[in-house]
Structure 1
Amino acid sequence: MTQLPGLLDIEAIRKDFPLLDRVVHDGKKIVYLDNAATSQKPRQVLDALNEYYEQHNANVHRGVHVLAEEATALYEGARDKVAAFINAPSRDEVIFTKNASESLNLVANMLGWADEPYRVDRETEIAITEMEHHSNIVPWQLLSQRTGAKLKWFGLTDDGRLDLSNIEEVITEKTKIVSFTLVSNIMGTVNPVEAIVRRAQDVGALVLIDASQAAPHMPLDVQALGADFVAFTGHKMCGPTGIGVLWGRQELLEDLPPFLGGGEMIETVSMHASTYAPAPHKFEAGTPPIAQAVGLGAAVDYLSAIGMDKIAAHEHAITEYAIKRLAEVPDLRIIGPTTAEDRGAAISFVLGDIHPHDVGQVLDEQGIAVRVGHHCARPVCLRYGIPATTRASFYLYSSPAEVDALIDGLEHVRNFFG
Structure 2
Amino acid sequence: MWSIFKSFFFLGWISFGGPAAHIGYFRQYFVEKHKWLEDSEYAQIVALSQFLPGPGSSQVGFALGYKKGGLSGAIAAFLGFTLPSVTIMLLLAMLSRHFLDTEVYESVVHSLKLLAVVVVADAVWGMYSNFCKSRLTVGICIVTASFLLLVPQISTQMILLMIAGLIGSRYLVASATAVSGSFKPSVMPLLLFLLLLFCLPLTTRFHSLLAIFSNFFWAGSLVFGGGHVVLPLLQGLVGEQVSQDAFMTGYAAAQVVPGPMFAMATYIGYVMSSGSIIGALVATIGIFMPGFLLLLGVLRNWQLLASKPRIAGAIKGVNAAVVGLLLAALYQPVFSSAVGTLTDVALILAGFYIYKKFNLSLLWTILFFVMAGSLVS
TM-score bucket (shorter structure): under 0.3
Per residue, is there more strand in 1 or in 2?
Answer: 1
Calculate the TM-score normalised by the size of structure 1: 0.21
Q: Which has the higher contact order (CA 8 A, sep 6+)?
A: 2
> TM-score, with normalisation over the residues of structure 2?
0.23
**Largest Rg, 1 or 2:** 1
